[in-house]
Amino acid sequence: MGELLKRIEGNTYYIEGPVNTGVYVYGNNRCMVVDTGSSEDWGRKIYKALEAEGLRLNLIINTHSHADHFGGNNLLVKRTGAEVAATAIEAAIISSPYLEPFYLYSAHPPKFLQNKFLMGKESPVDRIIAPGKLELEGAEVDIVDLKGHSPGQIGVGTPDGVLMTGDACFSAQIAQKYKLLYFTNIGDTLDTLKNIKETDYSYYLPCHGDLETDIRAVVDVNLNAINEVMGIIRWELLRPMTREELGSAVSERLDIQLNRTQYYLNQSCLAAYLSYMTDLGMVKGRIEGRRMVWEAV
Ligand SMILES: [Zn+2]
């Protein structure tokens, strides 16, 4: 295979990029890809890599609906007629990308949030898939439940012992640096991270980061970051404060610089922590003086 397609094992390859694209070849030079990068340009790059090897693209699987994971869909669909598959909730956003800035802002978002990081170009989704076995013509892959970073996120396991993990966990370097990693459901994320540690694939391909043979150390760094953030939130909430004030306090503690896009991502992520910690009885929210304040229990 050429230089763009890197072989991982057997019929499983990837195209390296800011968002890695997984490739699985089956049958008579057919293939499927997992995630298509952030833009039409990435779609073109993927198309060229497959074309150079005489591969016919039949299926695109999107692990989840963040804009940097389905940007190449339209170009690939137009040129190859491939089908697009995603889980139900992610398919809703991939086909109506306005929903992403809408949920982050919780109403019609101002134009500065309708940007290329938060809102991709809409793509058709032809097949709704769910965790379990997925039949390809003459082959089969595992669709693995990896929800947490996004509510319907999945990974794809190939018969060559490779698990493509989407954004289920971040590289050790990113996790150590930022700590406040983007997860929208902390309970599901913890379950997903523990489940990943119990799998025994030979290779793990995250969308952001390097191919790993043992992902457990990386998962542990992610778990430590989550525990550290929970500790900071509990500590800060010894003094009752609003989510706005908590966001400011946590960003200061972790030395996080914010632009407006990052601010809304961070607020969303903090909302996920507050929801999880409230349901566990660690913190509580109440109305005080017409403000919603949060405090440690
Ligand atoms: Zn993502």
Predicted confidence at residue 2, as pLDDT, reads: 57
Q: Are residues 142 and 250 in the same domain?
A: no
The burial of 87, by beta-carbon neighbours within 10 Å (0-12 exposed, 13-18 middle, 19 or more buried), is given as: buried
DSSP 8-state class, residue 212: B
Per-residue pLDDT of the chain (297 residues; tens, 9 = 90+): 557 999 999 999 999 999 999 999 998 899 999 999 999 999 999 999 999 999 999 999 999 999 999 999 999 999 999 999 999 999 999 999 999 999 999 999 999 999 999 999 999 999 999 999 999 988 999 999 999 999 999 999 999 999 999 999 999 999 999 999 999 999 999 999 999 999 999 999 999 989 999 999 999 999 999 999 999 999 999 999 999 999 999 999 999 999 999 999 999 999 999 999 999 999 999 999 999 999 999
d(CA 21, CA 16): 7
**Taking a C-beta distance cutoff of 8 angstroms, is the pair 31, 56 a contact?**
yes
The answer as to whether 45 is a domain residue is yes
The answer as to whether 29 is a domain residue is yes
* Of 34, 150, 167, 165, the residue nearest 89 (C-alpha): 150
The answer as to whether 209 is a domain residue is no
Radius of gyration for the chain, computed over Cα atoms and rounded to the nearest angstrom: 20
Q: Are residues 231 and 164 in the same domain?
A: no
The answer as to whether 199 is a domain residue is no
Tell me the residue range of the domain where 59 lies: 5-168
Give residue 66 CA to ligand 1 midpoint distance, Å: 5
CATH of the domain at 138: 3.60.15.10
Q: Are residues 18 and 164 in the same domain?
A: yes
Give residue 279 CA to ligand 1 midpoint distance, Å: 25
d(CA 248, CA 212): 35
d(CA 205, CA 168): 11
Q: Are residues 21 and 103 in the same domain?
A: yes
The answer as to whether 278 is a domain residue is yes
**For the chain, what is the largest distance between any 2 Cα atoms, rounded to a whole number of angstroms?**
68
Q: Are residues 163 and 241 in the same domain?
A: no
The answer as to whether 104 is a domain residue is yes
Predicted confidence at residue 137, as pLDDT, reads: 86
Give residue 194 CA to ligand 1 midpoint distance, Å: 19
**Taking a C-beta distance cutoff of 8 angstroms, is the pair 216, 197 a contact?**
yes
Q: Count up the domains in the chain and report the number.
A: 2
Helix (H, G, I), strand (E, B) or coil at 6: strand
* Of 211, 184, 215, the residue nearest 199 (C-alpha): 215
Q: Are residues 137 and 275 in the same domain?
A: no
134: CB partners within 8 A, 6+ apart: 85, 140, 141, 142, 143
Strands 203-206 and 283-288: unpaired
Q: Are residues 95 and 162 in the same domain?
A: yes
Give residue 63 CA to ligand 1 midpoint distance, Å: 9
Q: Are residues 20 and 156 in the same domain?
A: yes
Q: Are residues 103 and 12 in the same domain?
A: yes
The answer as to whether 208 is a domain residue is no
Give residue 53 CA to ligand 1 midpoint distance, Å: 29
pTM for the structure as a whole: 0.96
Tokens 């440690």 label which residue? Answer: 296
Element (H, E) at 58: strand 56-61
DSSP secondary structure, 12-45, as one string: EEEE-SSS-EEEEEETTTEEEEE---SSHHHHHH
Element (H, E) at 135: strand 132-136
Neighbours of 232 (CB within 10 A): 18
d(CA 267, CA 273): 10
Give residue 213 CA to ligand 1 midpoint distance, Å: 22
DSSP 8-state class, residue 111: G
CATH of the domain at 278: 1.10.10.10
Give residue 69 CA to ligand 1 midpoint distance, Å: 7
AA letter at 260: R
Q: Are residues 17 and 136 in the same domain?
A: yes
